[in-house]
Amino acid sequence: MRELEAWAGRVTDIAARAGSRIMEIYAAGFAVSAKEDQSPLTEADLASNALICAELRDLAPDVPVLSEESSSVAYEERRGWTRFWLVDPLDGTKEFVDRNGQFTVNIALIEDHRPVLGVVHVPAQCVSYFAWRGGGAFRRDADGTRGIRTRRTRAGQLVLAGSRSHATPEQERFFAACGGNVEILSIGSSLKFCLVAEGKVDLYPRFGPTSEWDTAAAHCVVEQSGGRVTTLDLLPLRYNSRPGWLNPHFLAMGDPDFDWRAYLARAAQ
């Protein structure tokens, strides 16, 4: 645990430095290209990736680093990893291109298929969320660092977070199943998890595709603040446990004791 605590501070600083580099490019202007899957790629993605990967290798030379921008390691090789860094150097590239500020830097440490350390940095706000197993979850901003906790969910007073760029019919059906007196926040990137961790949102349900690097860091923050991240069957979301990188649909919930099954069943009708 002491190692994780020490690393959490170092990794939070690394993410903040990557965020500063991103904001330099954000201010100066940038070109946008497309990856093979037609998702956008910018100079900021690559610059952040290079900085983070170099810094993590310096911090822990024996721990492999896997990033969205370098995710071609064969499953036959990585399936034997019991510990590795999982990085999204710029989560929410569409939000970055749209210049709405809702993009993040995500760095997680995975051990035995679970995130045990997570840092989510919000460059446009100079805010960092970080957590480590057994240590709690924290928010760091210009006013200092404070612990964060999820809140108790109350039926009839639900606040839900949804994807800004990747809304789906399944998401809309689920929102409708939650009833009329529901507040919906449409937000980009892993910020949705962070609002759950801070106790501002009860649930972030995801019914569209995400990759493991999109979720791992914020998953840790939610868990260590008192919440859970599960599949729709309410099983723990796991990492590096299959050949591909796509997550199943999931729920990031603040109150593990609240039963979302009735809402899921109503949405499926």
105-147 tens-digit pLDDT: 999 999 999 999 999 999 999 999 999 999 999 999 999 999 9
Answer with the one of 119, 147, 175 that is the final residue of a domain.
Answer: 147
Domain of residue 21 covers 2-147
In a domain, 60, yes or no: yes
Percent of the chain with pLDDT over 90: 81
Number of domains in the chain: 2
Q: What is the pLDDT of residue 167?
A: 74
Answer with the one of 100, 126, 147 that is the final residue of a domain.
Answer: 147
Residues 66 and 12 in one domain: yes
Q: What is the pTM of this model?
A: 0.95
Distance CA 34, CA 19 (A): 22
Answer with the one of 128, 147, 166 that is the final residue of a domain.
Answer: 147
Distance CA 159, CA 77 (A): 42
Residues 109 and 197 in one domain: no
Average pLDDT per consecutive 10 residues, the chain (269 residues; last block may be shorter): 93 98 91 71 91 97 92 88 96 89 96 98 97 98 97 95 81 90 90 97 96 97 98 96 95 97 93
* Residue 56 burial by Cβ neighbours in a 10 Å radius (0-12, 13-18, 19+): buried
Tens digit of pLDDT for each residue in 236-266? 999 999 999 999 999 999 999 999 999 999 9
Residues 116 and 219 in one domain: no
In a domain, 189, yes or no: yes
In a domain, 141, yes or no: yes
Instruction: Residue 200: give its domain's CATH number.
Output: 3.40.190.80
Q: What is the pLDDT of residue 32?
A: 79
Residues 6 or more apart whose Cβ sits within 8 Å of residue 83: 63, 109, 110, 111, 112
Distance CA 181, CA 175 (A): 10
Residues 175 and 212 in one domain: yes
Cα first-last separation, the chain: 45
